[in-house]
Amino acid sequence: MIKMTDVFKVYDKGIKALKGVTFTLNDGEFAFLVGPSGSGKSTIIKLLNGEIAPTDGAVMVNGYNMNKIKMRKMPYLRRTLGVVFQDLRLINEKTVYENVAFAMRVIGATNKEIRARVPYILKLVGLEHKTGMTPPELSGGEKQRVAIARALVNDPQLIIADEPTSDLDPARKLEIFMLLQEINKLGTTVFVVTHEKTIVDRLSERVIAIDGGRIISDGMDGYYNYEVE
């Protein structure tokens, strides 16, 4: 679960990125976070994964108080999160299997656990026949699926996807978003940052719109109409 209550974030030189943001994403929900460049989307993601702390207000993620979380607790929080980064952060020298297995190794999973879990996740995202290939040998959509598989492999409560389809053609973009919907139907909470207006409108999920550091709409009734910068 995500719960942000009256959250403010002020960066150096007095830059006010968030100005009283409040919303809740309950377990099992799917929501898009949308807004123009500079609206505060990236700041929200950084607050949720513990990269930064709020200046004021309260941030809760999967039962962890992000205002007070100790560094020694951060690895435990991050085990409950799966993050799909905009730049993917795949390891080009490792195979698809090894990239996904690496996410399990860093939390201390055994070889037996890895052998049981990784093939299941790769099949779930449609990459069971690509296990021995490296990222440079894959298409853009396949790379995105590897990133999603890596985010899923530790069975997180919450997936956060930051612009997961930015470099794909329209057909591949829709495939990735529909895959995230399927993952959500299996019980994982999904929170997606995107500017893909056409796809967001088509999928009819909850849309949280932010502009100027403030939530300006939140609901199932469509996408806030702004020009993406």
**Statement to judge: residues 66 and 178 lie in one domain:** yes
Residue 72 counted as domain residue? yes
d(CA 37, CA 16): 14
**Statement to judge: residues 166 and 76 lie in one domain:** yes
**Statement to judge: residues 107 and 69 lie in one domain:** no
> Which residues does 144 contact at the CB level (< 8 Å), separation at least 6?
84, 88, 164, 165, 168, 172, 176
SS3 210: strand
Confidence of residue 78 (pLDDT cuts 50, 70, 90): confident
**Statement to judge: residues 24 and 53 lie in one domain:** yes
Residue 166 counted as domain residue? yes
> Which residues does 227 contact at the CB level (< 8 Å), separation at least 6?
36
**Statement to judge: residues 22 and 64 lie in one domain:** yes
**Statement to judge: residues 174 and 101 lie in one domain:** no
User: What's the pTM value of the predicted model, to 2 decimals?
Assistant: 0.89
**Statement to judge: residues 1 and 76 lie in one domain:** yes
d(CA 93, CA 12): 38
Q: Helix/strand/coil (H, E, C) string of 65-111?
A: ECCCCCHHHHHHHHHCEEEECCCCCCCCCCCHHHHHHHHHHCCCCCH
pLDDT tens per residue, range 147-179? 999 999 999 999 999 988 877 788 888 888 998
Torsion of CA 97, 196, 167, 29, to 10 degrees: -10
Mean pLDDT computed over 218-222? 75
Residue 86 counted as domain residue? no
Residue 89 counted as domain residue? no
Residue 87 counted as domain residue? no
Q: Are 79 and 157 in contact (CB under 8 A)?
A: no
Structural domain count of the chain: 2
**Statement to judge: residues 71 and 163 lie in one domain:** yes
Residue 85 counted as domain residue? no
| CATH code, domain with 51 | 3.40.50.300
**Statement to judge: residues 166 and 210 lie in one domain:** yes
What's the pLDDT at 101?
Answer: 96
Residue 186 counted as domain residue? yes
* 186: nearest Cα among 130, 129, 131, 121: 121
What's the pLDDT at 223?
Answer: 55
Q: Please give the full DSSP string across 110-178, using - where no structure is assigned.
A: -HHHHHHHHHHHHHHTT-TT-TT--GGGS-HHHHHHHHHHHHHTT--SEEEEESTTTTS-HHHHHHHHH
User: Which amino acid, 203?
Assistant: L
**Statement to judge: residues 133 and 168 lie in one domain:** no
Q: Measured at the alpha carbon of residue 63, what is the angle toward residues 57 and 64, in degrees to the nearest 5?
A: 60
Domain edge (last residue) among 139, 155, 171: 155
What's the pLDDT at 222?
Answer: 56
**Statement to judge: residues 54 and 106 lie in one domain:** no
Residue 1 counted as domain residue? yes
Question: Residue 49, Cβ neighbours under 10 Å: how many?
Answer: 19
d(CA 187, CA 43): 26
d(CA 22, CA 8): 10
Domain edge (last residue) among 125, 155, 185: 155
Mean pLDDT computed over 77-105? 92
Q: Are 33 and 224 in contact (CB under 8 A)?
A: no
**Statement to judge: residues 134 and 26 lie in one domain:** no
Mean pLDDT computed over 109-123? 94
The parent domain of residue 47 ranges over 1-80+158-229
